[in-house]
Amino acid sequence: MTRLNGKTAVITGGATGIGLAAAERFIEEGAFIFIFGRRHEALDAAVADLGPNARAVKGSVSDEADLDRLYAAVKAERGTLDIVFANAGVGSQLRLGKITAEHIDEIFGIRRRSGRRLPFSRRRTAAS
Partner 1 sequence: MSNNNGQELAGKIAVITGGSSGIGLATAKRFVEEGAHVVITGRREKELREAAAFIKRNVTTVVGDVSRLEDLDRLYAVVKEKHGHIDILFANAGAGTIAPLAVATEAHFDQTFDVNVKGLFFTVQKALPLFKDGGSIILTSSVSNVLGLPGFSAYAASKAAVRNFARAWTLELKDRKIRVNAMSPGPTETPALEKTTGLTPEQAEQAAAQFATQIPMGRRCKPEEIAAAVTFLASDESSFITGVDLAVDGGMAQV
Between 1 and 126, CB nearer to partner 1: 1
- Cβ contacts of 65 within 8 Å, gap of 6 or more: none
- Residue 82 within binding range of partner 1, rule CB under 8 A: no
Between 1 and 76, CB nearer to partner 1: 1
Q: Give me the 87-106 binding string for partner 1, x by CB under 8 A, dash otherwise.
A: --------------------
Count of all residues that appear for the chain in the document: 128
Closest CA to 33 of 11, 5, 6: 11
- SS3 call for 35: strand
Is the Cβ–Cβ distance between 26 and 45 less than 8 Å?
Answer: no
Q: Give me the 23-62 binding string for partner 1, x by CB under 8 A, dash otherwise.
A: --x--x----------------------------------
One DSSP character per residue, 39-55 reads -HHHHHHHHHHH-TTEE
Shortest spacing between CB 84 and partner 1, in angstroms: 18
Contacts to partner 1 by CB under 8 A: 1, 25, 28
